[in-house]
Structure 1
């Protein structure tokens, strides 16, 4: 693909990683906003015009605001990508937000990039993998083309709704794996919890309007295993901290905003997005994130109920 003008919104670990990957073959610009002062590094409406691609390397919360500002100032065809794995304050996913602000047939096309692409690995020259999901196959293929000479391998896909829910809800399950490992409950239990999480995830993805098979893709299975087992995984680390009795990551609203997985659990309950009783492992995880007490007993009780047993494990 010829050189493109790419604007990256956000300069956290992921934003910097994308900049490092793309700057050798494309012209890369950056925009960021200080979370405390609100000061922006540049006027977005002046910076954005003329770019071929805008990467939203920011949490889900500001997506609607930023998408609205982008839609008003980009007057030439462009692709907007998101890597956010969370829900905004209204309980909307990046897929829902983008579909609203960038309607089909307009100048701005959109897609999502989800999969095992931990920033540290890619920044250090290792490989990464992700689903490039868009409503239009042509857009998904164009997304993959942007990274054709990098170590990030993108697989085009046409189920952005399923990819969004798989990637977002995966981050709710991962702390449970961290809790189990932090308590030393064993490799076998980890395998069971991962299989059970994936089974539920496929069912939820379908219930939310996606395709069940997407739960088994890079955006679901690939990202779930990577995040649940990586030593550098933030969401796994939350679970390990809870197992040690450290509740600081989930104790306040401010902390929730620092963790898209924990915040997703809150948003799912607040907006009634799922009937939790239909997804027992998800319900257990949400309960332990809000009231992390007697974790080992709660996990083993779940296992016994799952297999119809009443005796202690």
Structure 2
């Protein structure tokens, strides 16, 4: 119920972990668990940290979800809610929803939280917005009590697969918008491509077992627009750098490698999740990342085909 203090375990203490610690700390009891990536040393044993927690927030990338959810599943209380904000695929091509489904199933309660909620804005006390997706009864009650009175505002839905794929795949389109802006192709082109990306995202969600309308929620369109237009978006910066021919600089900094969108494309191909060229704009982004110099010609061809009579 609103106003009730929750015992929260935050996994990961990067930008988002710290943002949620600041967001929830004034009203809830917070414990942070983290692990040194170089040594593997944990701040405390995970299984001990998870005891008697009401909420476990996975504020870290998708790759560790499999290990951590597997370790947590036997020791969590049935009333605990596991919550993920990860927006990527793991090395087996799985979403956080699929990993939670495998380890937590229906015995434990879990949800996904996706939308425009940049860490720096949450830390500054500015508003954030997200879709909380869960198929299990009572999770919405816990999350309302958790975020009541904070700057993060939630919608609720039960399309967990659609929410996961929307949040993950939207990152694929963001470098394209960054490139279009860097090439000064116009505000009209940006608006058109965001609309096209959202329409295509809806078709991919349906293909992947989600609902197409989820593409138009905070998990899809809301997050896509924020990532595509934010000056701090590294996904957007990748597109701008590639359009300027600065591929060596990207390789040197490792930004391209760390990009969830670029990694998602690699996983889609490696695990044959779907055929990229089945979706025209998705296929265009694939070609752009491989041959950036072709972008303007490819965009002209896309627009010509799109409006051919």
Q: TM-score, normalised by structure 1?
A: 0.93
Structure 1 residue matching 2:13: 3-state secondary structure: coil
User: CA–CA distance in 2 between the matches of 1:56 and 1:214?
Assistant: 22
User: CA–CA distance in 1 between the matches of 2:164 and 2:139?
Assistant: 16
Matching residue of 2:90: 88
Q: How does 1:145-160 map to 2 (within 5 A)?
A: 145-160=145-160
User: CA–CA distance in 2 between the matches of 1:65 and 1:249?
Assistant: 34
Change (3 A) 1:232 1:33: same
The offset of 1:245, in angstroms, is 1.8
Q: Confirm or deny that 1:22 pairs with 2:24.
A: yes
Matching residue of 1:54: 56
Matching residue of 1:188: 188
User: CA–CA distance in 1 between the matches of 2:101 and 2:250?
Assistant: 31
The offset of 1:300, in angstroms, is 2.3
Deviation per CA, 1:178-237: give whole Å up to 9, x if none.
Answer: 011111111011011111101100011111111111111111111111111111112111
User: CA–CA distance in 2 between the matches of 1:288 and 1:220?
Assistant: 22
Q: How does 1:162-241 map to 2 (within 5 A)?
A: 162-241=162-241
Contact preservation (8 Å) 1:53, 1:81: yes
Q: How does 1:1-313 map to 2 (within 5 A)?
A: 1=2, 2-104=4-106, 106=107, 108-247=108-247, 251=251, 258-308=258-308
User: CA–CA distance in 2 between the matches of 1:84 and 1:49?
Assistant: 23
List runs of 5+ in structure 1 lacking aligned partners.
none
The offset of 1:135, in angstroms, is 1.1
User: CA–CA distance in 2 between the matches of 1:288 and 1:40?
Assistant: 40
User: CA–CA distance in 2 between the matches of 1:28 and 1:209?
Assistant: 35
The offset of 1:256, in angstroms, is 5.5
Larger mean Cα displacement after TM superposition, 3-12 or 137-146: 137-146
Change (3 A) 1:109 1:186: same
The offset of 1:10, in angstroms, is 0.8
Q: TM-score, normalised by structure 2?
A: 0.94
User: CA–CA distance in 2 between the matches of 1:242 and 1:43?
Assistant: 43
Change (3 A) 1:112 1:249: farther
The offset of 1:67, in angstroms, is 0.5
The offset of 1:274, in angstroms, is 1.3
